[in-house]
């Protein structure tokens, strides 16, 4: 058997939903993968991959850089031969960062000289062509992402977006090169880095493009992108004898019973649709943030709502609102204050649901919301199940100070998943799961939700 490093691959995620998705994709490939929250939890031994989940997407760039550098230090100390910086498929960031500053700090730390940026998620139609991000047939800057309450993406040109955040020179690996395969991509990396282009956005249209990019970059000290390109790295590891078939494991999760709840802070149209579908047969409480800002005791109202319906029903509590309502609140209180208020409310409600009312099956929708909820619950380690499709990444967490029974958890991007995902996943959590490694085919075709 080929000797293995103590840790083959270390990833740093700028939010929790995307980070758990990345971990679940590696798990689905059969790669033993650890997943911890924040910088204090120890990195366990015995895994080939590890993902550190941070909440750095919209904080000050200097703070984000500090955190990702510290995370990289910990992963390198654990033996990681490659660091992967994970961000959103829609390149969610502000005009000043934090994708560019964090990537450049990591590049400096690791001494790689050049890295690629591959945000595409071809499964869901999020692609890049001529450096422009598309959501299906729609340019990113013309999509609902332009209204995002924290990271409005109004420019579809990712080369231009990244250059505005970065000190180094940004280039493009165009589609004709990517389509020619891994060898052509490697040649382009060498040629463009020789010209001083150290930050290279990749055109990516099809799943096979992601596979070619992964094959071309499996040995770069630093790679960046959405989880979808990292999902193809295990195939390269096997091909280059970094991983043996004997090292692959079956992903398994236990069944979890107990009260079930959804917490949703995302304002994505998809989340609103999913909540409406859930509410056809289950209780939904939508918290009015305007009333919360005015001093209404929304926490007491939420507790009373949960007590009325638990444990008999699946419940949902949300701070979602139509775009016009969100804009009015932002004008009155500020963009960051509105987001912070929603996160604080849902985090406090999570504590009530889990620690006082016994919720043991929980779905959280929205990346920033997920970070606040997990922090409030004191979760620092997550055992991931296998990825089953966009938005479908089940997990198990053990909470400090609670009995040994685990919390079945799913942290879902607001933009992903089918209409019935909340009901389907909460029901699935009551059944054990064991999924064989999908090393030869990707993406897995298991369920439409």
**Predicted confidence (pLDDT) per residue in 303-329, tens digit:** 999 999 999 999 999 998 777 888 888
The model's pLDDT over 192-208, given as tens digits with 9 standing for 90+, comes to: 999 999 999 999 999 99
CATH (one of 3.40.50.300, 3.40.50.170, 3.10.580.10, 3.40.980.20) for 252-435: 3.40.980.20
pLDDT for res 1: 39
Q: How high is the mean pLDDT of the chain? A: 92
Confidence bin at 299 (pLDDT 50/70/90): very high
What's the CA dihedral at 361, 375, 267, 231 to 10 degrees? -80
Confidence bin at 163 (pLDDT 50/70/90): very high
Among 159-163, 181-185, 247-251, the least confident range: 247-251
Which two three-digit tokens encode residue 118?
A: 């591959």
pLDDT, mean of residues 412-437: 92
Among 25-34, 226-235, 297-306, 364-373, the least confident range: 364-373
pLDDT, mean of residues 360-380: 93
Compute and round to an integer the Cα radius of gyration of the chain: 21
Confidence bin at 13 (pLDDT 50/70/90): very high
CA dist 136 and 121 (Å) reads 11
Confidence bin at 445 (pLDDT 50/70/90): low
CATH topology of 9-249 equal to that of 252-435? no
pLDDT for res 446: 56
pLDDT for res 217: 98
Which two three-digit tokens encode residue 140?
A: 């990113």
Instruction: Domain ranges for the chain, please list them.
Output: 9-249, 252-435
CATH (one of 3.40.50.261, 3.30.300.160, 3.40.50.10840, 2.60.120.10) for 9-249: 3.40.50.10840
pLDDT of 5 strictly over 80 = no
pTM: 0.92
The model's pLDDT over 101-154, given as tens digits with 9 standing for 90+, comes to: 999 999 999 988 999 999 999 999 999 999 999 999 999 999 888 887 778 888
pLDDT for res 426: 96
Q: b/e for 16-54, b at 16 or more Cβ within 10 A?
A: bbbbbbbbbbbbbbbbbbbbbbbeebebeeebbbbbbbb
Among 87-91, 372-376, 389-393, the least confident range: 389-393
Which two three-digit tokens encode residue 196?
A: 């001083």
pLDDT, mean of residues 267-288: 92
pLDDT, mean of residues 51-68: 95
Please check whether residue 417 is in contact with residue 390, taking contact to mean a CB–CB distance below 8 angstroms. Answer: yes
């Amino acid at each position: 058997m080929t000797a293995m490093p103590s840790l083959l691959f270390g990833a740093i995620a700028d939010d929790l939903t995307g980070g758990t998705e990345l971990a679940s994709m590696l798990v689905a490939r059969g790669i033993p993968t650890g997943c911890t929250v924040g910088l204090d939890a120890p990195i366990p031994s015995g895994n080939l991959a590890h993902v550190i989940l941070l909440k750095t997407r919209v904080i000050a760039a200097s703070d984000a850089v500090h955190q990702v550098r510290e995370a990289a230090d910990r992963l390198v100390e654990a033996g990681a031969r490659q660091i992967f910086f994970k961000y959103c498929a829609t390149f969610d960031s502000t005009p000043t960062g934090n994708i560019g500053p964090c990537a450049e700090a990591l590049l400096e730390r690791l001494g790689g000289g050049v890295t690629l940026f591959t945000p595409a998620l071809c499964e869901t139609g999020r692609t890049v062509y001529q450096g422009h991000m598309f959501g299906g047939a729609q340019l990113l800057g013309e999509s609902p992402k332009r209204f995002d309450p924290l990271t409005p993406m109004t420019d579809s040109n990712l080369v231009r977006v990244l250059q505005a955040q970065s000190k180094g020179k940004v280039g493009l690996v165009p589609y004709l090169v990517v389509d020619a395969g891994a060898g052509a991509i490697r040649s382009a990396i060498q040629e463009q880095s020789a010209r001083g282009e150290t930050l290279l956005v990749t055109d990516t249209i099809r799943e096979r493009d992601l596979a070619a990019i992964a094959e071309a970059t499996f040995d770069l000290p630093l790679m960046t992108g959405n989880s979808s390109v990292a999902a193809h790295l295990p195939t390269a590891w096997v091909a280059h004898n970094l991983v043996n078939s004997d090292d692959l494991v079956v992903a398994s999760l236990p069944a979890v019973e107990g009260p079930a709840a959804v917490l949703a802070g995302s304002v994505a149209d998809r989340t609103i649709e999913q909540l409406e579908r859930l509410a056809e047969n289950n209780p939904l409480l939508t918290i009015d943030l305007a009333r919360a800002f005015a001093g209404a005791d929304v926490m007491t109202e939420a507790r009373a709502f949960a007590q009325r319906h638990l444990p008999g029903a699946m419940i949902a509590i949300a701070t979602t609102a139509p775009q016009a309502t969100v804009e009015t609140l932002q004008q009155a209180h500020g963009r960051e204050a509105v987001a912070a208020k929603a996160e604080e409310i849902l985090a406090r409600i999570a504590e009530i649901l889990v620690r006082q009312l016994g919720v043991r099956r929980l779905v959280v929708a929205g990346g920033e919301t997920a970070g606040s909820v997990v922090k409030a619950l004191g979760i620092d380690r997550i055992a991931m199940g296998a990825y089953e499709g966009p938005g479908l990444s089940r997990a198990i967490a053990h909470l400090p100070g609670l009995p040994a029974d685990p919390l079945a958890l799913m942290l879902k991007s607001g933009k992903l998943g089918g209409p019935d995902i909340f009901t389907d996943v909460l029901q699935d959590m009551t059944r054990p799961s064991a999924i064989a490694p999908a090393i030869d085919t990707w993406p897995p075709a298991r369920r439409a939700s």
